[in-house]
Chain A
Amino acid sequence: MKNLLLIAYLDVKESLRSKWFYVYSVVFGGLMALFFITGVSDSVVMGFTGLSRTLLIFIQVTIIILPIFILITTVKSISGDRESNVLEYMLSFPVSLKDYYWGKMLGRFSTVFLPVFLALILGVVFGMLKGGVLPWKMIFLYSALLFSLSFVFLGLAFFLSTILKSTDIALGASFVVWIVLLAFIDIALMGLMLQNRVSDDVVITLAMLNPIEVFRIGAISLFDPELTVIGPVAYYLLDTLGSTWLIVYAFVYPIVIGLLLSYIGYIAFRKKDLL
């Protein structure tokens, strides 16, 4: 445990000095600031205005860029260290593979989750300064959903980073996974449904398996309990699961998948050649 925390701490320190971390923080913090500067919070769309409108846009943007940011910055963590022989040196010290792998993951999770979370808090603070009401429930649920979205993509990144030995291939695989998942959010699913080429059950299953879609449905259901702004799949899920279970599913499912992928990655890390 001592070494696991040490590895996590060192990974955080290393990330804090990296350029990617600054870009990542500036993008999310900057986006939130931009929303307020450009007056997004004062506009009204589909009945949303003020802080709710800002958070809704923030979440919509997050759905697109958070997964790819996490994949790009994290997928190199183990494969990159392997290629540059950093892994060879660091693991020549008596550190267990368990401590190294999970320590790296803990450290990296802190550095990918905190900037997004802090951007959310920044948005809330801006909104409060402009005279909004503090939406506790929304902040809590959004933080939880961001946590689970970060976790599933971190798990995926560690999985790819461990099983693929080349950084280039791992990066390429990340892009493919991201594009596929993004293509199968609500709009593509609606297209499939309209074409009637696959059964509705398959479309619903695809939606429920896609963590980006699950996050999207969970996040939007907070603003729009009837989910009228997104497609029929979300509407069907809401009808089947009910709003509470939909939120629970949106939070728990990505964490379970993230844990599963990171665990498979860990097994591969232990069972395969390290270099």
Chain B
Amino acid sequence: MLAVAKDVTKSFMGTKVLDNVNLMINQGDRIAMMGPNGAGKTTIVRALLGFYHIDSGEIRVNGADPIKNRVDVLKHISFIPQLPPPVKLSIEELLSFVEKSSAISREKIFLESERMDLDLKNQLNKPFFKLSGGMKQKLLIAIALSKKSNLLIFDEPTANLDPKGREKFYELLTEIDPSCSTLFITHRLDEIEGLVNRQIYMDLGKVVEDEKI
């Protein structure tokens, strides 16, 4: 078992955002997580990444608590946020951060970028936030795919990509090691249907449907 959330509850200002959520992610799971806005999808992902202190319940990722052992837990997770953040570092500096903090090879990032039709080498001094939305997203995808992780979490990763970029992205996903698990937060199941083997539907902070495809 790669990650487990057991009876997890989390409230913000008195509103329950996660209500006794139980979720298990096994090795090789390719999950599409869906649900309306405010269903708790991003909250459960953030809790798995150790950003939130849950009110009750238990979360384990690779057997460890993501709050107490965040460094160990995050070594094995790749994450792509919904919108690329306005990081002010230059691409060179961002790569340096990623390389040194997560032992990711720069060459591997260049390689993945090229496969996404992103020319990184000529833009190393450019601040990340000055790239176009699509380019930023491609770089984040290249970084995530270059990291040796056993769980990839994508929060609507293709929101900023043009149709060609999406196609390339999905093509790259087909090459991911089968033992690696993926969790997509998405509103468009049709786009990733061939890439997932399980779908989870959340609503009002609860998992209301969890089935194999």
Q: Are B93 and A85 in touch, CB under 8 angstroms?
A: no
Most chain B C-beta atoms within 10 Å of own C-beta, residue among A6, A10, A93, A273: A93
Question: What chain B residues lie within 8 Å of A188 (beta carbons)?
Answer: none
Q: Are B46 and A275 in touch, CB under 8 angstroms?
A: yes
Binds A, one of B24-32, B96-104, B111-119, B165-173: B96-104
Decide: A94 near B88, CB < 8 A? Known: A2-B100, A3-B101: no
Question: What chain A residues lie within 8 Å of B74 (beta carbons)?
Answer: 92-95
How far does the Cβ of A218 sit from chain B's closest Cβ, in whole Å?
36
**CB-CB contacts below 8 Å: B46-72 with A:** 46, 49-53, 70-72
Query: Please, which residue of chain B has its CB at the minimum distance from the CB of A7?
Result: B97
Question: What chain A residues lie within 8 Å of B124 (beta carbons)?
Answer: none
CA–CA, A17 to B203, complex, Å? 44
Q: Are A275 and B51 in touch, CB under 8 angstroms?
A: yes
Question: What chain B residues lie within 8 Å of A88 (beta carbons)?
Answer: 46, 51, 81, 85
Q: Are A17 and B88 in touch, CB under 8 angstroms?
A: yes
Type the 1/0 row for B71-100, where 1 means its CB is closer than 8 Å to any CB of A. Answer: 111110101010111111110010011101
CA–CA, A88 to B127, complex, Å? 18
How big is chain B's contact interface, by range? 20 to 34
Query: Please, which residue of chain B has its CB at the minimum distance from the CB of A3?
Result: B101
CA–CA, A3 to B101, complex, Å? 6
Q: Are B49 and A13 in touch, CB under 8 angstroms?
A: no
Most chain A C-beta atoms within 10 Å of own C-beta, residue among B81, B98, B100, B140: B100
How far does the Cβ of A88 sit from chain B's closest Cβ, in whole Å?
6
Question: What chain B residues lie within 8 Å of A64 (beta carbons)?
Answer: none
CA–CA, A92 to B81, complex, Å? 10
Q: When the two chains form the complex, which single residue of B53, B88, B101 contacts A18, counting CB atoms closer than 8 Å?
A: B88
CA–CA, A3 to B71, complex, Å? 11
Most chain A C-beta atoms within 10 Å of own C-beta, residue among B75, B79, B88, B127: B88
Q: Are A89 and B81 in touch, CB under 8 angstroms?
A: yes
Q: Is A181 an interface residue (CB 8 A)?
A: no
**CB-CB contacts below 8 Å: A1-38 with B:** 2-3, 6, 10, 13-14, 17-18
How big is chain A's contact interface, by range? 20 to 34
Q: Are A94 and B101 in touch, CB under 8 angstroms?
A: yes
Decide: A13 near B93, CB < 8 A? Known: A91-B51, A94-B101, A272-B53: yes
Q: Are A92 and B75 in touch, CB under 8 angstroms?
A: no
Q: Are B97 and A10 in touch, CB under 8 angstroms?
A: yes
Q: When the two chains form the complex, which single residue of B79, B84, B96 contacts A92, counting CB atoms closer than 8 Å?
A: B79
CA–CA, A231 to B131, complex, Å? 56
CA–CA, A3 to B74, complex, Å? 14
Q: Are A94 and B71 in touch, CB under 8 angstroms?
A: yes
CA–CA, A274 to B71, complex, Å? 15
Q: Are A96 and B71 in touch, CB under 8 angstroms?
A: yes
CA–CA, A168 to B36, complex, Å? 30
Query: Please, which residue of chain B has its CB at the minimum distance from the CB of A15?
Result: B88
Q: Are A274 and B88 in touch, CB under 8 angstroms?
A: no
CA–CA, A13 to B125, complex, Å? 12
Question: What chain A residues lie within 8 Å of B96 (beta carbons)?
Answer: 6, 10
Q: Are B97 and A93 in touch, CB under 8 angstroms?
A: yes
CA–CA, A258 to B73, complex, Å? 32
Q: Are A85 and B85 in touch, CB under 8 angstroms?
A: yes
A-B complex: 6 closest residue pairs judged by Cβ atoms = A92-B79, A94-B74, A85-B85, A86-B85, A274-B51, A94-B71
Seed contacts A18-B88, A90-B87, A92-B49; 13 additional CB < 8 Å A-B pairs: A10-B96, A14-B89, A84-B85, A84-B86, A85-B81, A86-B87, A86-B88, A88-B51, A90-B97, A92-B74, A95-B71, A97-B70, A275-B51
Residues of A bordering B, CB below 8 Å = 2-3, 6, 10, 13-14, 17-18, 84-86, 88-97, 271-275
Pairs across A and B, CB under 8 Å, 22 listed: A3-B100, A3-B101, A6-B97, A6-B100, A13-B90, A14-B88, A14-B89, A17-B88, A17-B90, A84-B85, A86-B85, A86-B88, A88-B81, A88-B85, A89-B79, A89-B140, A92-B49, A93-B97, A95-B101, A274-B50, A274-B52, A275-B51
